[in-house]
Amino acid sequence: MSAHVGTFALMLGVTSSLLGIVVMARGITTGEARYLRLSQRFTGAILIAGVVAMGAMQYALHAHDYTIKYVANNVANGTPGLFTVTAAWSALEGSILLWILILGGFMAGTAIAFRKRVGDPLVAWATIVQYIVALFFFGLTVTVANPFALNSKFVIDGTGPNPLLQNHPLIAFHPPFLYAGYVGMTIPFSFAIAALVTGRFGEGWLADTRKASMIAWGFLTIGIVLGAWWSYEVLGWGGYWGWDPVENASLLPWLTATAFIHSVMVQERRAMLRVWNLSLIIATFSLTILGTFLTRSGVITSVHAFSESKIGPALLSFFGLIVVSGLGLIAWRGDRLRTPGRIDSVVSRESAFLMNNLLFAGFALVIFTGTVFPLLVESLQNKQLSVGSPYFATMTSPIGLGLLFLMAVAPVLPWRATSGEVLRDRLFVPLWAGAIAFVSAVVFSSAGFAGVCAYGLAAFALAGIVRNFVMAVRARISTQHENPVRALLNTVRGNPRRWGGLIVHVGVVLIAVAITASQGSAIKQELRLSRGQSGVVAGQRITYVGSSRSVTAQKSTLRSRFAIHDGDDNLGVYTPEISSYRNANNGIGTPSVHSGLLRDVYLQLAAAPDERDRVTVQVAVNPMILWLWLGGLVMAFGTCVCLTPKRSVVSALPVRVREDATV
């Protein structure tokens, strides 16, 4: 039953995408408004198709309808409710359903946002591009990745999800957020293509897609941070980032998207960098498809690659189509894309943005090369190899430092050109803060040269942001006689994009500090302890309290309890565990982490109690990891601030600060 409903919904999706394309093409060629209006309606049909297909899948999963192959492979009678819900995206076919659902949401949302501009060719072409993307993904579900394919065998109990995907509630959040980021990029991409086709590559399409780009970027950022969190807190691989190809695949579109949301400001303000912005968004969208290919097609071994499938060639072809048509359109419009704007001075906001873009593009190139090169060699020479993480670490740390430096300097640089006096005035406090942090880091921390620079630059950047806020708020207090809280609120309301952006930068500073600290001085050690025995790692006393076992229909779990003491401070009892799932031979460990502002104490069971009741536990003391997650939260908050509507508040800025505060 659900299989029929689901398949019907997917067919509805295919048909709606096709009809959308045909009707829209008719509307564009004839210029008749009724076709254009009618075509927009199909976005609603696509959303409905996505909702019904996902609903049918959810129903089938909960009803344990094992006549559907996907259900039989991804849920078992003993799978708990939450993981039955998330089973819908625990494997390839289902994850395409999630993709479609989110795409439908973005498309319908865009149609509503632009409902008053159905006659606009830019909107019409953008919608056609979205329909083509939708057609591709619906097409996958009815051909190579059919989630409602029937089971040829009679099954009494399903296999259940991959143990790693039913071990923690984060499976409910990380994939949807990341997908929302990936899929959301479809909207700015479609407008970029529309701008190229219609020849309206002025600043209009940027303004139209500013919100969509920010939303997608925000989701992608949160998705990546959640992925790091999952890897650290749940999978127990000890770290939050391993330069794993799938991690890199999510970082690549983030890097180009981050470059994009910065460089659009240059185009809006100075009408420069048109080709560059078009290229960046096309690159971003094609990298989301490439990322999906890398993670889903089975070319890379990982928790994300579920099985070999025929989806690989389809995704790779689609990637090729995007790149070729994108570059083709840019080449075709080449001459008309030239812009009159010039950079007047090296010391200016636009020049800083340009540097920022070059660094982000370089960053992406480094990651791309390191990720794709082994695959190329493997397919050409049939040899397996991997790129060691030192490559990524050595290459990215100077780029990261450069970006931190720009983040500190750029927001205080005026557009066009500046004088030494202005710079001295604005950079005086931040530079001192940076210098003090640098010197303190040299004296007190064990960080290397890059680490010490990172601390200095982080303080430099943070002080610059704080100075910006303080100046603006103070101006309001003195001229409008507002209380400090109201003054701060009104400041942000007056230009949410700028102040939200600066809040995002605070998050980046926190993350930069966390990365520097955690890489500098993590201590890892294994302890073998009898009951009641203690061991000390980096000043943390770990005492083995005891173990217990529990068995549910889903898994059997061994929990070992450890008391942690930091000197005389009792930090509580932590229970790392090892779970054995019915569908896997081997146990899956889940670490237990005491998180603190200065350090985490990270416990991971390495071996269950032996015949003499001794357990082996891996203890890691990781400095300042918590700041990563805090930084992620701050970035998410800043993105939300950016998205709030701009309110006109009485300007209270003296001329000098006003120049400072414009974007």
DSSP code per residue over 299-358: SS-STT--S--THHHHHHHHHHHHHHHHHHHHHHTGGGG--------SSSHHHHHHHHHH
Nearer to other proteins, 43 or 622 (CB): 622
Among 143, 394, 419, 644, binds other proteins (CB under 8 A): 394
Kindly state the DSSP code that residue 414 receives in the 8-state scheme.
P
Kindly state the DSSP code that residue 559 receives in the 8-state scheme.
E
Does residue 450 interact with other proteins by CB under 8 A? Answer: no
Does residue 383 interact with other proteins by CB under 8 A? Answer: yes
Among 78, 121, 298, 535, binds other proteins (CB under 8 A): 298
The whole-angstrom separation of Cα 404 and Cα 264 is 20
Among 144, 365, 471, 630, binds other proteins (CB under 8 A): 365
Q: Using CB under 8 A, which residues numbered 325 to 364 contact other proteins?
A: 362
Paired tokens of 81: 């409710």
Taking the alpha carbons at both ends of the chain, their separation in whole angstroms is: 56
User: Smallest distance, Å, CB 584 to other proteins?
Assistant: 5
Among 384, 443, 567, 568, binds other proteins (CB under 8 A): 384
Does residue 556 interact with other proteins by CB under 8 A? Answer: no
Q: Using CB under 8 A, which residues numbered 484 to 543 contact other proteins?
A: 526, 528
Q: Label residues 116-127 b or e (16+ Cβ within 10 Å = b).
A: eebebbbbbbbb
User: Smallest distance, Å, CB 560 to other proteins?
Assistant: 14
Does residue 414 interact with other proteins by CB under 8 A? Answer: no
Asked whether 94 and 74 are in contact (CB, 8 A), the reply is yes
Q: Using CB under 8 A, which residues numbered 160 to 179 contact other proteins?
A: 162, 164
Nearer to other proteins, 299 or 321 (CB): 299
Kindly state the DSSP code that residue 115 receives in the 8-state scheme.
G
Does residue 306 interact with other proteins by CB under 8 A? Answer: yes
Angle at 604 between CA 598 and CA 607, to 5 degrees: 155
Paired tokens of 301: 């071994």
With CB under 8 A as the contact rule, which of the stretches 215-223, 261-269, 283-291, 365-373 interacts with other proteins? Answer: 365-373
Paired tokens of 435: 């210098």
Contact pattern from residue 568 through residue 607 relative to other proteins, giving x for each residue in contact according to CB under 8 A and a dash for the rest? ----------x----xxxxxxx----------------xx
Q: Label residues 399-412 b or e (16+ Cβ within 10 Å = b).
A: bbbbbbbbbbbbbb
DSSP code per residue over 154-188: --SS---S-GGGSS-GGGGTHHHHHHHHHHHTHHH
Among 32, 308, 344, 613, binds other proteins (CB under 8 A): 308
Paired tokens of 499: 């102040």
User: Smallest distance, Å, CB 585 to other proteins?
Assistant: 6
The whole-angstrom separation of Cα 21 and Cα 132 is 7
User: Smallest distance, Å, CB 122 to other proteins?
Assistant: 34
Among 143, 386, 419, 530, binds other proteins (CB under 8 A): 386
User: Smallest distance, Å, CB 206 to other proteins?
Assistant: 26
Does residue 469 interact with other proteins by CB under 8 A? Answer: no
Does residue 388 interact with other proteins by CB under 8 A? Answer: yes
Write out the residues near other proteins by the rule CB under 8 A: 159, 162, 164, 236, 298-303, 305-308, 362, 365-366, 369-370, 373-374, 378, 382-388, 390-391, 394-395, 526, 528, 578, 583-589, 606-607, 616, 618
